[in-house]
Amino acid sequence: MYSGRDKLGEGAGASLDEARVRAAAAALKAWYLYRPLDVVVPSAVEGGVGGVEWRPNVVDVGEVVV
């Protein structure tokens, strides 16, 4: 499954339709199960313990077109 030149997911199946469904599922899993590397959780900044400043976690700063 591609979006322009970007490969989003890949799937194999007994038919072309099944392969498309599996590729779409792989693309969705890659998007929604993505985990950023530098995560700051709210419990890490409660009460000022640890000297960590809260910043929201961003998966991707790019534009999502549906």
pLDDT in tens, 19-55: 999 988 888 887 777 666 666 677 777 666 666 676 6
> What are the structural domain ranges in the chain?
2-37
At residue 60, the pLDDT reads: 64
Greatest CA separation for the chain: 56
In this structure, whether the domain defined by 2-37 belongs to CATH 3.40.640.10 is answered with: no
8-11 long-range contacts (CB < 8 A, ≥24 apart) are none
Q: Is pLDDT above 90 for 18?
A: yes
**Does pTM top 0.75 for this prediction?**
no
Task: Name the DSSP letter for residue 6.
Answer: E
Tell which wins on pLDDT, 16 or 6: 16
Q: Is pLDDT above 90 for 15?
A: yes
Task: Name the DSSP letter for residue 3.
Answer: E
